Amino acid sequence: MTQIQHEMDIRIYYEDTDAGGIVFYANYLKFCERGRTEFLRQAGLESKPLMDREGFIFVVRKLTADYLLPAFLDDIIVMKTTLTEMRNASFDMKQIIYKKADGGQPNIKIFEMDVTLVCVNKKGKPIRVSDPVRDALGL
């Protein structure tokens, strides 16, 4: 399978941090949600139209997160999302957040997450990922 990727920059604002100016741990999950949403949007798979027209959405079934280093107020982070495996009704993604380095230095990995998403209908029942969705994801 060819791995499809999406990257986006996110600036850390005051609202993302705790009293010490460090990104609050739960916000990494929000950043990952944005990354997945934009990944799917890039593939032409927007959540609301999928539910309204096609009758399904993708929901998180399982995730494993590893917090490596903190991000701070005013940092710019890079959210990288990669589709790693596709099954009948679910797929896996790897999401890595890097702190953007200055002056051409390599970015520093600060967070990593593996997440499993399941395709479900309006009643919440898992259903097979359709061929048009597989095509949009390049599978």
The catalytic residues are 18
- Compute the distance between CA of residue 87 and CA of residue 89 in angstroms, rounded to an integer: 6
If you count them, how many residues does the chain have? 139
Exposure class string for 121-134: b at 16+ Cβ within 10 A, else e: eeeeeeeebeeebe
- Token pair in block for residue 59: 């929901």
Residue 38, burial from CB neighbour count under 10 angstroms (0-12, 13-18, 19+) = middle
